[in-house]
Chains A and B, each alone.
Chain A
Amino acid sequence: MKLTASKNVVALIFSFALVAGCSSTGETTGEDGMGAGSGSGSGQDQQSGGTVFGGDDGSSVSSSEMTEQQRQEAETRAQEAEAEAMRSITTFYFDFDTSEIKQEARDVLVAHARYLAANPGQNVRIEGHADERGTSEYNLALGERRANAVQRFLVVNGTSRGQTETVSYGEEKPAVMGSSESDWAQNRRVELIFD
């Protein structure tokens, strides 16, 4: 719980890039999105890179070690910025009549999941939508299936189910008006709404 959200996110996404023994064991489970809740739970309990360095290096600080720490901190800041940029993406798109989360959405959703895991007071409303084609009631169910897929993905990656709420609007609230292929593609989506 001492971890800041962004560090947690960074640790997850870039765990493979981080050197040293600074704690990416828990996070790697979450990487592929299949690590069940345990990955995230243990990740939270672990100390962050920052905390570890603060404690371990406190007594025998050498200038070169400081440089290394600064370098890592700078890297961490850059990664935090990247994670934050990732989390600015809150809309995820789907193919016609599917609820499969696309490959390019997964890293971003993992970033959201870790942020939520680190901020248990933060709730998210997951809104599922469909394009206008097909019937409105089937699309309502399809929108729900998309919202549920995203919810499951977030939970698997550490978000508590209680932080999430899903709703489907089916085809009722298109992001864009119009009936072209590209309009439809923009309307088949799940939106994360953070309050």
Chain B
Amino acid sequence: MKNRVNRSAGRLSLLMFVMASLFVVPATGNELLIRITEGADSAIPVSVVPFAESGQMPEGDKVSRIIQNNLQMSGEFAPLPPEQMLSLPSKGSDVYFRDWRLLGQRYVLVGQVSNSGGTLRAQYELYDVSQEKRLVGATASAPVSASRSLAHHISDRVYEAITGVEGAFSTKLAYVTLERNADGAIYRLQVSDVDGKRARVRLESDEPILSPAWSPDAKKLAYVSFETGKPAVYVHELESGNRERVADFPGLNSAPAWSEDGRSLLMTLSKDGNAEIYRMNLATRDLSRLTNHWSIDTEPSYDHTGRGFFFTSDRSGGPQIYHKASEEAEPRRITFGSRYNARPRPGPSGRYVYYVHQRDRAFHIARTNLESGAETVLTRSESDESPSVSPNGRMLIYATKSGGESVLTVIAADGGAAYSLPASRGDVREPAWSPIVR
């Protein structure tokens, strides 16, 4: 496995490669811990009052606690610690606005959660303190085993009611952890909630796993795995665990990116001599070559129109971000600010593109406003990689180094608050934020 390429095995399984249990390990992964490293000055003061409880509550974090963490993680809110609250109301009629005004709070969330026959039911109300007005009053329920999903759902409703933007707390993160030991390395492709909890290992290999990318319906991941001794692109159905090896050509098979309709993948192949970008129709496996240059062309990502795409090319001498407005269009160079700009990821609005940017020997995450061309460096740490934008465009996750190990950090997409998500052991890298599933 380590040094040999088993070509015959590769060919046999080229068409339909159903996962052997050897690799897919539907086991509990190592959860990421949220570590708050930086707060935002402009964060909105909000109070998530601990929910009243009746009946058997699930083990682990309480629903209201999860909501509080989520709001804090967004960087847009500064939740009041419950011990500083003057009262702990659980329904609207018990909310005394004067108390909350005194505490400088703009919003208050109150609620109750009950367990009846294994179903967790939450009744919650969100109030605007200054207007003394109820913004949300709703109930939601879920099996007790899905209490975190229930909390994420309420977080989304609260977030949207206050900001007017769809919440992204019910989405998922995919990432790769790397554990080095005496025998070598163990790579694990994992999927967790956006708060790092409920992590599950989806693939385990002693060879590298790279570049997980979510299908638009969030049901599949495409990624690069070296399990045969060389890079190949796989499509992995999360629920069934079935996988297909969709690209295993000579040379590079890498950097998969889904089309809007989920029917094609952009990818980097070097079968024709050097790294070029192709579109593969997943049903027919037909390839269309989309770039043609002697330089490296890689890291494609569709833009918000779903027709054009961003990519990295070193055709100017070093890696820079380019955009093709359509498959036929001439590439337009986007970045000029430094010698190294790579791995573009557009935000959902089409206004910004995010990427890795080298400045003074350090690698940061930066974004360019595509209308004005203005570039903003968003991070200050020195080895920042793999930016992935939340589907609502408000948060950004990326990998960085902390104490010699790779950790994930979440920031507001305009800079500001930062939260790091270190793995309990080993490195964590290559984060990919899932789409919102409606």
Contacts and interface: CB of A to CB of B under 8 A. Distances in A.
A96 to B, nearest CB: 9
Interface stretch (A20-28, A29-37, A134-142): A134-142
Given A97-B318, A168-B231, A172-B226, A145 B296 contact: yes
Q: What does DSSP make chain A's interface, helix, strand, loop or mixed?
A: mixed
A70 interface: no
A135 B274 contact: no
Interface residues of A, number: 27
B5 A141 contact: no
Interface in B327-344: 340, 342-343
A125 B229 CA distance: 11
A137 B356 contact: no
A15 interface: no
Contacts of A141: 252, 254, 268, 270, 274-275, 296, 298
A144 B318 contact: no
Interface residues of B, number: 40
Nearest to A173: B208
B231 A135 contact: no
B104 interface: no
Contacts of B319: 97, 134-135, 138
A77 interface: no
Given A141-B275, A144-B275, A167-B5, A136 B430 contact: yes
A195 B404 CA distance: 34
A145 B254 CA distance: 14
A133 B5 contact: no
B255 interface: yes
A137 B268 contact: yes
A179 interface: yes
Contacts of A137: 210-211, 254-255, 268, 298-299, 312, 343
B231 A138 contact: no
A100 B180 CA distance: 31
Interface string A171-193: 01100010100000000000001
A166 interface: yes
B251 interface: yes
A29 to B, nearest CB: 25
A136 B430 CA distance: 9
B76 interface: no
Contacts of A136: 210-211, 385-386, 429-430
A169 interface: yes
B385 A166 contact: no
A148 B274 CA distance: 9
A31 B224 CA distance: 40
B298 A193 contact: no
Contact of A138 (B251, B274, B299): B299
A144 to B, nearest CB: 6
Nearest to B187: A172
Given A97-B318, A141-B275, A179 B401 contact: yes
A165 B211 contact: no
Interface of A: 97, 125, 132-138, 140-142, 144-145, 148, 165-170, 172-173, 177, 179, 193, 195
Q: Which 7 residue pairs spanning A and B have beta carbons closest together?
A: A172-B208, A141-B275, A135-B343, A141-B296, A135-B342, A137-B255, A167-B230
